[in-house]
Amino acid sequence: MTLEGEYEPSQWDWVREQVETFEATNGQEANILRGRPEWPIVVITSRGAKSGKLRKNPVMRVEKDGVYAAVASKGGDPQHPTWYHNFLEHPEVDLQDGAEKHTYRARVAEGEERAEWWERAVKQYAPYAEYQEKTDREIPVFLLERV
């Protein structure tokens, strides 16, 4: 993994605690969402768009052939999650999937590619469909490809 710099933990307790446990156990614990084994997560480290500090977020694990999707749903909120802006400003991110850690380049999926990955994401985590219904914005899907 290549990102270096000052790490600023999340303001959200549950995010901070999940990331800390995930990293402390090399991905062996805190690797699922809300105690549901069918909802595995990965941890993505990005650089803050404004602060430049490192940020870490647990994101649903949606993967195919070594490419990961990061769905910027924010639970159907009308605003994008903060990390959406981080990915646009600094597309090089680090991703940890279990014990595996690598650097990826993030890009927004569009058109048919987005539709394909959206379907894959909803199949992995059905609440994404509900989140889309709650908001007027099209929920962005980033594709993370290994550098």
Report which secondary-structure segment, H or E, holds 73.
none
pLDDT at 127: 97
Contact 99, 25 (CB under 8 A): no
Residues 78-117: b if buried by 16+ CB within 10 A, e if exposed: eebbbbbebbeeebebbbbbeeeebebebeebeeeebeeb
What is the per-residue pLDDT for 34? 85
pTM above 0.75, yes or no: yes
Average pLDDT, consecutive stretches of 10 residues, N- to C-terminus, the chain (147 residues): 92 96 97 94 98 97 98 97 97 98 98 98 98 98 98
Per-residue model confidence (pLDDT) at position 1: 67
Give the CATH number of domain 13-146. 2.30.110.10
